[in-house]
């Protein structure tokens, strides 16, 4: 272990003597929040850097005097003259560009990161930008806003999770202050769990995933919570139709320590109580979440963060039945600056996803089903700023998993056995600029996975195709005894991104990444449900892998006012888990007997035109894409759709989003968004057969049809009264309409006997041999909303 | 299954204000008609088979029946009887009773003179008749939420008491009657995975099996029950039919799946027909409510 630590700190000794380093943190002037991704430019040297996830930057230059520019969209640029005759530590505070209309142009900086950065397939969203997009019930929703970007879609309204570049919902690594979140949805997918007030920054990687991220195939959503105002006490919040929220932040010791607490609770249940129908008014339905963070600067070199998220959805049918689920994450972080050029972050993360369902405890025949996944992460990451054109990032991580697939307690006690696994990994990544035009970032991640005891593992006659009928016996594994390891060369995950600047406003980029995923969400519904559970790779389930290749052309226009990009990608998936026909996945001890393994491919082209400054902001995004899967085998019963390629549930050929916000005057903002998407695939019956008196559909090929195309227009307006001079309290009103023209978009089309519609108890009706197709639309009418937001 | 039911119920509440369901016209693909067989052989009530053809999904009414087929029943590989056409078109019956532990198959020969699809011989794969428990008693009890939480309405219910035979793997199908009218359009199946070898109805341990109720307090109604043993295959088939026909209409529907039963074409065994021919041992019972 000691050797390892020495290796990690090795770059210490590599530090050159000829140059001096300018380093420090960049913060928001009014709150003291560190800013992520701020551009630091030295025009005379044509070099620059950006702040990392903790607002830290470091630039090493030959001795001399320099004009250094600090630029960040929406903030006034700061220019400092720096005499670099020794190492200089310089913390900068950036002031927000005033929202007053006549001053907007001042903040209109020449920021060309879109073109010059080696990153591609990446989008960074500012919560202020998200707040301008019209939202369902006025609830500022990060995930819903992400789905307006090219390459990110959902199966439909009310679908849990989202899909990135033809990947399944479980292939997204969703990090909240580095803690993985297993279910990003509230209310079965209508809203996301992120309270936008508490969020500082959202960064999405759809491709070109850097080596420091791993564990999921398709994307990384890196969400960073606010640290808490270190300057003065402040609060903000809002009252909306769906929920209310309040955030309080304050210094504990000014400029040294601060905290943030944000809470949100929905009150749909209160509306239910207004109904006179006892079927409705006795029910409970709400969600809440709590975001907390404390940070402490322990001198110039060290900083500690402790943050947590607690969220829950609670449902109840009268006092008969209850159902709740939620995520908990806790993160303890230690930032340490070893020297001007070596920054480190050590993190411990605990993450938990639990769901419970059952009857009240005092029932005569009470029962509770609890299911849970917990994981623990310990990681250490290092940024070594070798020179302004060369940066080395490296780190190690160990993840421990504990799966509790299900435990029933009450009138009977049964428990599916717990499962345990370890996932150690390490990465190294180097970004280097050659000359003025060519930048390359190459890295390697190595991941491995160990499924360990204690476990009783079932043996089957054909391990490649386990069935309940082919159980031979069981093998007992003791605590920590190795059951199955994945630690070969297939754990190597190379990453590569290159950028070639054609001219100062145009670049060509290319990237390749191989990512590997050791835990799978086992689901057989169109979109995942809260009761689906992750299962790990092991004796019968292999890890999944994807190769992704992407190519992009990036161009900025009109002095970087407009950013445009075209990206094409191809993804090749191996070992995707699919379910067998009629699979029963809930509370199943023999889960492997319900699964099949297949391959997948996805490809597409994404176009984005974005304007982030000026009176008019927004973007137009269009994606043409295809995502398919294939489960083939010499044996017919191990195939899906006869072993042919079939469309993934979330395959959508065309996806167009237009998002616009216009500032009419200092008091009024108007916004709108329009979405058009090809309807999602569904499986159409190719006939009917009669079994007894039941007419059953004949389905042959999975996803052989589509629901009609989806389109929707939302509008909103925000009124911000003039702020009273000298008063810190101000508020704004946000109102609008979701689905303005009341389009009845089909979430699904289902096929049923007509009798289904009126006959739940089985009494015979005259028309149960007749069948019908029914379109289910969610939010099929224009839905108005109003929210009052306040700040102090 | 229960979980799915409750989730659907929650969703109904969520969607109440804004969702809508419209019956729409949609074109569906259509394949060549194929054979469909439903039937069973029992240990005490003879056997039957209904032979019909598949049709376009939106064909309204019953599917066309095959009237001039030859239907033979096999026990442990040997033909034991021919099932003869009944007056109801497409129905073939026998009074032959099977025995627990033996294997049963039927063979259906479809002649040239059937216009719906090609002539040929279709067979069901072998089904072993599984054991069945004897019903210990059927009683009527007053139940409410305090005595049985799953009872939504207070009243008199018909309860079945029985000893589930020890040894996991038993599966059952329940069929019910009110007076002499059968509850059709339901598939009510369960297996012993949660109560293997227990006495169902043992006080303080496992509640009796509630199969009917509440009785109408003014009527002298009777409730009947039949419990039929199922093989795992038969159970899986019925479960799939149930989920594909009755469990639709929410965002958490099980995805559409091919429902393959145990009927195949003798001349090319990869070609399957639809439906299922099963073998079941049965227990029956009933009770009358006295107001």
Bridge partners of residue A677, in order along the sequence? A655, A710
Contact B255 A526 (CB under 8 A): yes
Chain A, 464-493: which have a CB under 8 Å from a chain B CB? Answer: 468-469
**Nearest CB partner across the interface for A691, out of B183, B207, B276:** B276
Residues of A in contact with B23 (CB under 8 A): 772-775
Residues of A in contact with B256 (CB under 8 A): 682-683, 685, 697, 699, 702
Give tens-digit pLDDT for B9-64.
444 454 454 567 788 898 998 888 889 999 999 999 999 999 999 999 998 888 89
pLDDT value, residue A177: 93
**Nearest CB partner across the interface for A524, out of B21, B183, B254:** B254
Mean pLDDT for B96-106 is 96
Cα separation of A122 and A369, whole Å? 40
**Nearest CB partner across the interface for A778, out of B15, B236, B255:** B15
Shortest distance between the Cα of A419 and any Cα of chain B, in A, equals: 21
* Partner B contacted by A740 (CB < 8 A): no
* Rg, C-alpha atoms of chain A: 27
Nearest residue to A439 (alpha-carbon basis) of A49, A20, A10: A49
Shortest distance between the Cα of A238 and any Cα of chain B, in A, equals: 23
Burial code (b: 16+ CB inside 10 Å, e: under 16) for B123-156 equals bbebbebbebbebeebebbebebeebbebeeeeb
Shortest distance between the Cα of B281 and any Cα of chain A, in A, equals: 18
Chain B, 240-279: which have a CB under 8 Å from a chain A CB? Answer: 240-241, 243-246, 248-261, 270, 274-276
User: In 3-state terms, what secondary structure has residue A99?
Assistant: coil
Non-local (6+) Cβ contacts of A527 within 8 A are A154, A155, A156, A159, A160, A161, A169, A189, A649, A650, B251
Residues of A in contact with B185 (CB under 8 A): 693-694, 753, 755, 759, 762, 764, 768
A501 touches A115 (CB < 8 A): yes
Cα separation of A747 and A53, whole Å? 38
pLDDT value, residue A329: 95
Give tens-digit pLDDT for B243-291.
888 877 666 677 788 888 999 999 988 788 899 999 999 999 999 988 8
Q: Which among B26, B52, B205, B223 is the top mutation candidate for probing chain A, defined by the most A β-carbons within 10 Å of its own β-carbon?
A: B26
pLDDT value, residue A766: 52
Determine the residue of chain A that is closest to B233 in CA distance: A469
Residues of B in contact with A756 (CB under 8 A): 245-246, 248-249
Chain A, 21-80: which have a CB under 8 Å from a chain B CB? Answer: none
Chain A, 423-442: which have a CB under 8 Å from a chain B CB? Answer: none
**Nearest CB partner across the interface for B10, out of A315, A527, A692:** A315
Contact B18 A704 (CB under 8 A): no
Q: B82 vs A607, A744, B70, B71, B75, CA distance in Å?
A: 68, 55, 8, 6, 12
Dig out the tokens for A143 from the structure: 């995930």
Contact A776 B249 (CB under 8 A): yes
Cα separation of A632 and B231, whole Å? 28
User: In 3-state terms, what secondary structure has residue B125?
Assistant: coil
Nearest residue to A130 (alpha-carbon basis) of A111, A117, A143, A119: A143
Residues of A in contact with B54 (CB under 8 A): 687-689, 698
Residues of A in contact with B240 (CB under 8 A): 581-582
Q: How many CB pairs under 8 A join A and B?
A: 260
Residues of A in contact with B249 (CB under 8 A): 750, 752, 756, 774, 776
A751 touches A693 (CB < 8 A): no
**DSSP per-residue codes, A366-382:** -EEEEEEEEEEEEEEEE
A348 touches A367 (CB < 8 A): no
Contact A323 B6 (CB under 8 A): yes
**Nearest CB partner across the interface for A272, out of B11, B13, B28:** B13
Cα separation of A758 and A770, whole Å? 13
Chain A, 135-174: which have a CB under 8 Å from a chain B CB? Answer: 156, 158-159
Residues of B in contact with A683 (CB under 8 A): 255-256
Contact A158 B26 (CB under 8 A): no
* Partner B contacted by A638 (CB < 8 A): no
> What are the 10-residue block averages of pLDDT along chain A, 792 residues in total?
47 56 91 89 87 91 90 87 89 77 39 79 82 81 90 83 92 94 85 89 92 95 92 91 91 91 87 69 84 92 94 81 89 93 95 86 68 94 92 96 85 82 96 90 96 92 85 92 94 95 91 95 76 86 95 90 94 91 75 90 96 90 96 79 90 95 92 94 92 89 90 93 87 91 87 67 60 85 88 89
Q: Which among A532, A582, A738 is the top mutation candidate for probing chain B, defined by the most B β-carbons within 10 Å of its own β-carbon?
A: A582
Question: What φ, ψ does residue A604 adopt, rounded to 5°?
Answer: 180, 175
- Could you tell me the maximum CA-CA distance found in chain B, to the nearest angstrom? 63
* Partner B contacted by A371 (CB < 8 A): no
The pLDDT of residue B91 is above 60: yes
Angle at the Cα of A88 from the Cα atoms of A85 and A89, rounded to 5 degrees: 175
Question: What φ, ψ does residue A365 adopt, rounded to 5°?
Answer: -120, 60
**Nearest CB partner across the interface for A780, out of B18, B194, B249:** B18
pLDDT value, residue A411: 63
Chain A, 665-694: which have a CB under 8 Å from a chain B CB? Answer: 682-694
Give tens-digit pLDDT for B118-129.
788 999 999 999
Mean pLDDT for B146-173 is 85
Contact B251 A414 (CB under 8 A): no
**Nearest CB partner across the interface for A764, out of B57, B59, B185:** B185
* Partner A contacted by B3 (CB < 8 A): yes
Contact B245 A321 (CB under 8 A): no
Chain B, 91-130: which have a CB under 8 Å from a chain A CB? Answer: none
Residues of B in contact with A747 (CB under 8 A): 251
User: In 3-state terms, what secondary structure has residue A228?
Assistant: coil
A602 touches A573 (CB < 8 A): yes
Dig out the tokens for A611 from the structure: 């304007």
Cα separation of B282 and B175, whole Å? 10
* Partner A contacted by B221 (CB < 8 A): no
pLDDT value, residue A364: 53
Does B123 or B154 have the greater pLDDT score? B123
Confidence of residue B149 (pLDDT cuts 50, 70, 90): low
Sign of CA dihedral A532, A536, A542, A543: positive
pLDDT value, residue B5: 43
Determine the residue of chain A that is closest to B12 in CA distance: A280
Determine the residue of chain A that is closest to B232 in CA distance: A469
Burial code (b: 16+ CB inside 10 Å, e: under 16) for A164-192 equals bbbbbbbbbbbbbbbbbbbbbbbbbbbbb
Shortest distance between the Cα of A503 and any Cα of chain B, in A, equals: 50
* Partner B contacted by A101 (CB < 8 A): no
* Partner B contacted by A770 (CB < 8 A): yes
Mean pLDDT for B72-90 is 95
């Amino acid at each position: 272990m000691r050797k390892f630590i020495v290796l990690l700190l090795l770059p210490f000794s590599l530090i050159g003597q000829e140059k001096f380093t300018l380093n420090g943190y960049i913060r928001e002037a009014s709150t003291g929040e560190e800013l992520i991704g701020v551009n630091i430019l030295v025009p005379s040297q044509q070099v620059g850097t950006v702040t990392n996830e903790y607002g830290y930057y470091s630039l090493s230059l030959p001795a001399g005097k320099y004009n250094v520019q600090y630029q960040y969209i929406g903030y006034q640029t700061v220019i400092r003259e720096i005499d670099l005759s020794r190492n200089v530590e310089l913390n900068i505070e950036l002031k927000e560009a005033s929202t007053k209309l006549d001053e907007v142009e001042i903040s209109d900086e020449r920021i060309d990161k879109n073109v010059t950065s080696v990153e591609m397939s990446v989008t960074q969203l500012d919560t202020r930008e998200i707040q301008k997009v019209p939202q369902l019930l006025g609830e500022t929703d990060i995930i819903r806003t992400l789905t307006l970007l090219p390459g990110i879609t959902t199966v439909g309204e009310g679908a849990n999770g989202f899909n990135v570049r033809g990947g399944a919902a479980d292939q997204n690594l969703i990090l909240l202050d580095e803690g993985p979140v297993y279910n990003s949805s509230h209310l079965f997918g209508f809203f996301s769990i992120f309270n936008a007030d508490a969020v500082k920054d959202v960064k999405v990687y759809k491709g070109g995933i850097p080596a420091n991220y791993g564990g999921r195939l398709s994307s990384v959503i890196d969400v960073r919570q606010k640290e808490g105002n270190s300057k003065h006490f402040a609060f903000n919040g809002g009252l909306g139709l769906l929920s209310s929220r309040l955030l309080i932040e304050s210094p504990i010791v000014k400029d040294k320590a601060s905290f943030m607490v944000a809470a949100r609770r929905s009150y749909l249940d209160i509306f239910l109580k207004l109904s006179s129908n006892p079927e409705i008014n006795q029910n409970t339905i709400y969600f809440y979440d709590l975001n907390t963070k404390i940070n402490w600067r322990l001198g110039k070199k060290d900083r500690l963060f402790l943050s947590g998220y607690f969220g829950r959805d609670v449902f109840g049918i009268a006092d008969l039945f209850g159902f709740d689920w939620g995520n908990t994450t806790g993160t303890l972080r230690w930032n340490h600056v070893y020297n001007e050029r070596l920054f480190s972050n050590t993190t411990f993360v605990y993450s938990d996803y639990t769901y419970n369902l059952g009857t009240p405890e005092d029932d005569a025949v009470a029962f509770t089903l609890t299911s849970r996944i917990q994981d623990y992460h310990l990681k250490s990451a290092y940024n070594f700023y070798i020179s302004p054109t060369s940066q080395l990032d490296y780190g190690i991580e160990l993840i421990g998993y504990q799966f509790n697939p299900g435990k029933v307690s009450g009138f009977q006690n049964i428990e599916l056995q717990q499962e345990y696994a370890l996932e150690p990994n390490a990465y190294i990544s180097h970004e280097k600029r050659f000359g003025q035009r060519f930048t390359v970032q190459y890295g390697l991640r190595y991941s491995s996975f160990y499924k360990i005891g204690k476990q009783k593992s079932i043996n089957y006659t054909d391990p490649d195709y386990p069935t309940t009928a082919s159980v031979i016996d069981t093998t007992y594994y003791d605590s920590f005894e190795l059951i199955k390891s994945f630690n070969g060369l297939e754990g190597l995950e190379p990453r590569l991104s290159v950028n070639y600047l054609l001219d100062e406003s145009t670049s060509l980029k290319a990237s390749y990444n191989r990512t590997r995923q050791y835990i799978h969400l086992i689901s057989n519904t169109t979109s995942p449900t809260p009761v689906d559970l992750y299962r790990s790779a092991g004796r019968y389930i292999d890890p999944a892998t994807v190769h992704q290749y992407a190519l992009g052309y990036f161009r900025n226009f009109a002095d970087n006012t407009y950013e445009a990009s075209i990206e094409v990608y191809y993804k090749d998936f191996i070992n995707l888990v699919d379910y067998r026909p009629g699979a029963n996945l809930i509370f199943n001890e023999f889960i492997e007997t319900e699964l099949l393994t297949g391959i997948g491919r996805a490809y597409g082209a994404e176009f984005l035109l974005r304007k982030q400054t000026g009176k008019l902001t927004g973007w137009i995004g269009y994606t043409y894409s295809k995502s398919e899967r294939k489960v083939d085998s010499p044996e017919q019963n191990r195939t899906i759709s006869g072993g042919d390629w079939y469309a993934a549930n979330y395959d959508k050929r065309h996806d167009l989003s237009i998002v616009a916000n216009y500032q009419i005057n200092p008091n009024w903002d108007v916004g709108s968004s329009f979405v058009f998407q090809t309807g999602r695939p569904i499986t159409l019956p190719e006939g009917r057969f009669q079994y007894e008196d039941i007419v059953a559909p004949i389905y042959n090929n999975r996803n052989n049809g589509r629901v009609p195309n989806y389109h929707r227009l939302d509008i909103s307006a925000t009124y911000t009264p003039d702020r009273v001079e000298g008063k810190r309290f101000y508020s704004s009103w946000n109102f609008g309409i979701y689905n303005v023209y009341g389009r009845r978009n089909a979430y699904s089309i289902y096929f049923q006997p007509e009798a289904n519609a009126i006959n739940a108890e089985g009494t015979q009706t005259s028309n149960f041999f007749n069948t019908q197709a029914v379109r289910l639309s969610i939010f099929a009418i224009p839905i108005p909303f109003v929210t009052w937001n306040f700040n102090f | 299954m229960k979980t799915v039911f409750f989730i659907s119920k929650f969703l109904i509440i969520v969607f109440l204000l804004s969702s809508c369901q419209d019956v729409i016209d949609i074109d569906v693909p259509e394949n060549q008609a194929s054979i469909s067989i439903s039937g069973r052989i029992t240990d005490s009530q003879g056997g039957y088979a209904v032979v019909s053809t598949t049709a376009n999904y939106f064909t309204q009414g019953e599917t066309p029946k095959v009237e001039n087929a030859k239907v033979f029943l096999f026990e442990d590989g040997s033909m034991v009887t021919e099932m003869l056409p009944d007056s109801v078109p497409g129905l073939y019956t026998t009074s032959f009773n099977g025995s627990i532990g033996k294997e049963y198959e039927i063979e259906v020969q479809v002649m040239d003179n059937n216009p719906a699809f090609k002539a040929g011989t279709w067979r069901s794969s072998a089904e072993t008749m599984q054991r069945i428990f004897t019903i210990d008693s059927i009683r009527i009890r007053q139940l409410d939420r305090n005595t049985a939480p799953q009872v939504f309405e207070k009243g008199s219910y018909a309860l079945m008491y029985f000893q589930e035979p020890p040894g996991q793997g038993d599966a059952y199908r329940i069929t019910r009657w009110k007076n002499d009218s059968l509850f059709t359009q339901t598939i009510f199946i369960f297996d012993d995975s949660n109560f293997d070898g227990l006495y169902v109805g043992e006080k303080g341990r496992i509640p009796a099996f509630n199969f009917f109720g509440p009785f109408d307090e003014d009527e002298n109604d009777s409730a009947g029950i039949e419990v039929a043993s199922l093989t795992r295959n038969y159970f899986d088939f019925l479960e799939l039919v149930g989920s594909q026909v009755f469990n639709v209409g929410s965002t958490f529907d099980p995805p559409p799946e091919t429902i393959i039963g145990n009927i195949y074409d003798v001349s090319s065994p990869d070609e399957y027909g639809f439906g299922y021919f099963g073998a079941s041992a049965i227990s029956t019972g009933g009770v009358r409510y006295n107001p």
